[in-house]
Amino acid sequence: MTRSSSTAGVHTIAEILSEPQIWTQCLTQLQESGELVSLNQKLSKNVEWIFVGCGSSFYLAQIAAASWSILTGTPARAIPASEILLFPKLFPVPCQPVFISRSGRTSEAVEAARYAERELKIKTLAVTCGSGTPIEEVCSHVIRLLPADEKSTVMTRSFTSMLLALQALAAERGECKDFLKALRALPGQVAPRLNDIQATVRSLVDSRAYADYVFLGQGPFFGVAQESMLKVKEMSCSYAQAFHTLEFRHGPKAIVSPETLITFFLSESGFAEEVSVLEEIKELGGATLVISNSTNAAIRGSADYLIELKLDVPEVARAAAAVVASQLLGFYTGMRKGFDPDQPRNLSRVVMLDSRDGGSHRATT
């Protein structure tokens, strides 16, 4: 079922534009409840942290793991829930697992958490936007971000809100008080920029259609690139790929053409090297969108479209804001192609698996 043209995407765009407001609600909830302080005391120390998810939640896990290592100085990594179920020996023990699920009902995440709790006897943490869900029954500890839940199928504000919650927990573990303060300031800095970001993305989408979308990022921004790739696929059924920025030189740049839109999430840590790739791709004839906190003449000369975030927060704290731009790109590209981003083709809000017939797994809804 599709919506009429007058109502297509109404939930998705409202949820994207509500993100700064929802971030404030969630971060205030965590601060006032003392939840992060309590969790930091209860959760394991001196072990590797493993962030687990499916789909968007896995890409969130990638950003969360990078943020954790940067803020705490301790090892962390992301693993898809399916890997734990199919290759359980890849699950490192001992560890501190964190299971990310917007709905709290995704079968692979719930079953992987059950395996960790019951088979490995590890106390786990769930991060969800649901209430009274299966994953809450399985996991020993839960962060619930109810204001961040959505009516739409695709994850937008739930993604960024759960990310900020995990970054806040990392800052609590790493005793990064200034970072926590910066996270609380982030919504107020992003909100005034939303109109300009939205206008730039609409101008890009209105100008022409592209055959291929590529997203490039390093460090915590690689997970941002991955999620951006998925947003464009989900909402517009477009062909999209994601790579580490410098890895794009090692073969993938063969696809560059005027029909390819390459989006760069520029970092401060790798700024000069990443700008060098941008200049190279522009010389090869690719269309470029640059999302950066600041700009210079080289960027302005190589970017067909430019979103300058201008945020006075640490680099890692900008990941959530960078995701918003690609959510808008997926939304407006989908609308241009006649899709309803509220109800993407072939997708449902929760992926449940049926393990009949000797443990085979099949998607059902």
pLDDT value for 4: 44
Distance CA 127, CA 104 (A): 8
pLDDT value for 363: 32
pLDDT value for 268: 95
Say if CB 317 and CB 181 are below 8 A apart: no
Q: What is the pLDDT along the chain (365 residues), one digit of tens a residue?
A: 344 467 899 999 999 999 999 999 999 999 999 999 999 999 999 999 999 999 999 999 999 999 999 999 999 999 999 999 999 999 999 999 999 999 999 999 999 999 999 999 999 999 999 999 999 999 999 999 999 999 999 999 999 999 999 999 999 999 999 999 999 999 999 999 999 999 999 999 999 999 999 999 999 999 999 999 999 999 999 999 999 999 999 999 999 999 999 999 999 999 999 999 999 999 999 999 999 999 999 999 999 999 999 999 999 999 999 999 999 999 999 999 999 999 877 665 555 565 533 343 333 22
Distance CA 142, CA 139 (A): 7
The string of DSSP codes covering 35-94 is HHHHHHHHS--SSEEEEEESTHHHHHHHHHHHHHHHHHSS-EEEEEHHHHHH-GGGS-SS
pLDDT value for 199: 98
User: Domains along the chain?
Assistant: 10-175 (3.40.50.10490), 190-336 (3.40.50.10490)
Residues ≥6 apart with Cβ < 8 Å to 232: 213, 215, 238, 240, 326, 329, 330, 333
pLDDT value for 348: 58
pTM of this prediction exceeds 0.85: yes
pLDDT value for 345: 79
The string of DSSP codes covering 230-286 is HHHHHHH---EEEE-TGGGGTTGGGG-STTEEEEEE--STTHHHHHHHHHHHHHTT-
